Amino acid sequence: MRIACPFCGSRDLREFSFLGDAGAAGAGLPGAGPGAGPGAGAEAGADAGPGAGPDADAGARAEAVYLRDNPAGRHRGLWYHEAGCRSWLAVTRDTRTHAIFAVELAREGAR
């Protein structure tokens, strides 16, 4: 598997490390949208009005932290170009074939 980094060009897999599902793991990144993951869940919890009970908040947080779509097919994951430009990349890939459809900067994809 080779990943086409927007800065460095096509690079070998061993230069990258994988964090996880872009939806679940992306919340900690700057610019991640609301509802994108655990960090966002915490923000939503802090902003929740008096109508939302602690249980509902805990449930939403547990879902955001632990549950995954885990698709067989198109999947968007976060990769870190550790041995290169150190960018966080959102890579859209077919989990059945490892074919890569798109690579973008995670920050741009989150907007």
What does the binding site for another protein look like in residue numbers (CB under 8 A)?
A: 1, 12-14, 17-18, 20-21, 58-59, 62-63, 65-72, 75, 77, 79, 93, 95-98
Alpha-carbon distance values, 2 to 26, 74, 76, 77, 101 (Å): 22, 17, 16, 15, 12
Tell me 33's DSSP state.
P
Minimum gap (Å) between residue 53 Cβ and another protein: 14
Cβ closer to another protein: 19 or 111?
Answer: 19
Minimum gap (Å) between residue 14 Cβ and another protein: 4
- Mapped onto helix, strand or coil, the DSSP state of residue 48 is coil
Cβ closer to another protein: 52 or 62?
Answer: 62
Cβ closer to another protein: 48 or 60?
Answer: 60
Task: Tell me whether residue 77 is exposed, middle or buried, using C-beta atoms within 10 angstroms of its C-beta: 0 to 12, 13 to 18, 19 or more.
Answer: buried
Minimum gap (Å) between residue 17 Cβ and another protein: 7
Tokens of 1: 């598997």
